Amino acid sequence: MRLTLIHPCIGRRKGQRYIRTWQMEPLPAAAIAGLTPPGVDIRFYDDRMERIPFDEPADVVAISVETYTAKRAYQIASEYRRRGVPVIMGGFHASLCPEEVARYADAVVVGEAEAVWLQVLADAEGGTLQPYYRGGQRPSLRGLRPDRSIFKGKRYLPIGLVEAGRGCHFKCDFCAVQTVFNHSQTRRPADDILEEIERLRDKRLFFFVDDNITSNMAEAKDFFRELARLKVRWVSQASINAAYDEEFLELIAASGCEGVLIGFESLNPDNLRKMNKGFNMMKGGFEQALANLRRHRIRLYITFVFGYDEDTPASFAPTVDFALEHKFYIAAFNHLTPFPGTPLYQRLAEEERLRFDAWWLDDRYRYNQIPFRPAKMSPAELQAGCLDARRAFYSHRSIWRRGFDEVNRASARMWWNYYGINYLFRSEVAERDEYPLGDEAWQGELIPARSMVLPLVTPALNASPLSLHAAR
C-alpha cells in the first residue's frame, strides 16, 4: 500500500513562495510514519517548502490539519479526491471541528491517532474507510517512536523536536489544547525520551514540543534528573508556576535548559482572571517569577495577547515597556484568536461578537485580521497595536540593548543565535499581515466527500486485514 503524508502550509500569495524560508521538522508527520507498519510505502511532502506531486501514484493520503491550515488542507484533499485517491484527515482542527473536516475527507481521526491508526490503515487497504475514528481513553505514549527518515533530503533547521508529554492540566479559556485533551496530560516514559535523544545526537539544540513541560511536576523532575547525564541543550514551553519551584529550576538548569516560553498573556489582573490564568499572579506575580528565572540564567520567550475585555489602545505601550525593562530574549505580541471549540469561541459567539461564521474558511479573512469585535477598541486598533508593539520590541535599539543583558549573553552560542533570531523576527513583523489562508493561485473547487455531514460516532476497532496487523 502506498501512503502519502502531507503537511499543509497556511497559504500562499499568488505567484509567491511560502513566506518563511526556515522551517522546523513537522513532528506529527514523523509520529504517524512511526505508527505505520513495515511494508507500507510512505511518501512525505511538506507544502511549505516543496510542490506536491498530485499525480504521483498513491493509495491513500493523510493530512494533519490545524485551524490556520484548514482551507489549504481542503484544497489539497480536493486535488487528491479528484484523482480518486481517498483522504484521511487528523490533527487539532479535526478534533475541534470533526463534522466540518468530514465534508472534505473520506475519514477523520478525532483525537490521538495511536489507538486507531492501524485500524484506519487496515480499512483503507480493504476499501472500507469509516467516516470517523475515535479511540476511547487517552492512549499510552509508551513506545512512541517517530520515523524521521521521511525528512531525508529536506532542509530543516538543525533542531531536534522531541515530545516528552502531551496536553496540559490548566483550563485557559482561549486554548485549544485544553479543549482537545480535556485539560489533562500524558507523559512518555523517561527511558523512551532519552533513547530518542541519543538517536538525535547530531542536533545542536532540542526543543521539547510539549504544550506545558511542567504540567506534571513530579514526573518532569524525575525526567530532568535523568536528562542531565546526556549533556544536551534544550528549550521548551512552561507555565509560570514552575518559576516558584526552586528544585525544578535547579534541575532544568543542570539538565541543559537554554530557555523557556511562558505565556504571560496580560499585565491586567482582570484579563488574567477572565481567561482562567489567575495563577499567573501567584506568589508575587511576574516580578518574583522573573527574578527566580534570572537567578538560574534561564532565557525567556514571553508571549502577550491583546484583545481581552479590559484591553484598550492604551494597553500596548506599558506591555512593551515591561518587556524591554526585563530584556526578554524574544517576545510575542499577538491578538486574541478565538479557536473553534474553545470556551472563548463559545462566549464570543453567544455575545454575537464574531465577525465571521468560520474565520478560517471565510474568503474575506486574512492572517492577522481580528475575527471578533473587542470590547474597548476597534478591530483595526487591535491589529495596528500588535504590529506597533512588535516594531518597538524588535527595533535596532531594543535588539542591541537586550543583547548585552547578562542572561542573554551568558552562553556564547545562544548570544550568537540571539542576533539571528531577533533580526529574523524584526524582518517578519508585518510580513504575514493580510496573508491569505489557502493558496490564492489554486483554481479548483473544493470537492465534498459526501453530500451530508454524518453524525460523529466511535467505530468498532476489531476487524482488520491480516497484512497490516501481521506486519506490526
What pLDDT digit, counting tens, does each position of 216-227 carry?
A: 888 899 999 999
What pLDDT digit, counting tens, does each position of 131-154 carry?
A: 999 977 888 889 889 999 999 999
Instruction: Say what the pLDDT of residue 280 is.
Output: 76
More confident residue, 352 or 22: 352
Beta strand 185-187 with 165-167: parallel, antiparallel or unpaired?
antiparallel
| Interval 203-218 mean pLDDT | 89
Task: Reply yes or no on whether the pLDDT at 302 is more than 50.
Answer: yes
| CATH code of the region 2-139+439-467 | 3.40.50.280
What pLDDT digit, counting tens, does each position of 43-96 carry?
A: 999 999 999 999 999 999 999 999 999 999 999 999 999 999 999 999 999 999
More confident residue, 309 or 178: 309
Instruction: Say what the pLDDT of residue 42 is.
Output: 97
What pLDDT digit, counting tens, does each position of 225-243 carry?
A: 999 999 999 999 998 888 9
Instruction: Say what the pLDDT of residue 21 is.
Output: 65
What pLDDT digit, counting tens, does each position of 368-417 carry?
A: 999 999 999 999 999 999 999 999 999 999 999 999 999 999 888 889 99
| Interval 194-208 mean pLDDT | 92
Instruction: Say what the pLDDT of residue 276 is.
Output: 87
- In this prediction the pTM is 0.91
For the chain, what is the mean pLDDT? Answer: 90
The full 3-state SS of the chain, as one line of letters, equals CEEEEEECCCEECCCCCCCCCCCCCCHHHHHHHHHCCCCCEEEEEECCCCCCCCCCCCCEEEEECCHHHHHHHHHHHHHHHHCCCCEEEECHHHHHCHHHHCCCCCEEECCCCCCCHHHHHHHHHHCCCCCEECCCCCCCCCCCCCCHHHHCCCCCCCEEEECCEEECCCCCCCCHHHHHHCCCEEECCHHHHHHHHHHCCCCCEEEECCCCCCCCHHHHHHHHHHHHHHCCCEEEEECHHHHHCHHHHHHHHHCCEEEEEEEEECCCHHHHHHCCCHHHHHHHHHHHHHHHHHHCCCEEEEEEEECCCCCCHHHHHHHHHHHHHCCCCEEEEEECCCCCCCHHHHHHHHCCCECCCCCCCCCCCECCCCCECCCCCCHHHHHHHHHHHHHHHCCHHHHHHHHCCCCCCCCHHHHHHHHHHHHHHHHCCCCCCCCECEECCCCCCCCCCCCCCCCCCCCCCCCCCHHHHHHC
Residue type at position 29: A
The domain ranges of the chain are 2-139+439-467, 158-427
Instruction: Say what the pLDDT of residue 461 is.
Output: 32
Task: Reply yes or no on whether the pLDDT at 18 is more than 80.
Answer: no
110 and 98 Cβ atoms separated by less than 8 Å: yes
Range with lowest mean pLDDT among 55-64, 203-212, 272-281: 272-281
248 and 214 Cβ atoms separated by less than 8 Å: yes
What pLDDT digit, counting tens, does each position of 438-471 carry?
A: 999 998 889 888 643 444 443 333 333 223 322 2
Fold adopted by 158-427: pyruvate-formate lyase- activating enzyme (3.80.30)
* Burial track 131-153 (b if 16+ CB lie within 10 A, e otherwise): bbbbbeebbebeebebbbebbee
What pLDDT digit, counting tens, does each position of 155-175 carry?
A: 899 999 999 999 888 888 998
| Interval 328-340 mean pLDDT | 96
Instruction: Say what the pLDDT of residue 450 is.
Output: 63
Contacts of 207 (CB under 8 A, 6+ apart): 24, 159, 160, 161, 162, 234, 235, 236
Between CA 427 and CA 429 the distance in angstroms is 6
Range with lowest mean pLDDT among 52-61, 167-176, 275-284, 310-319: 275-284
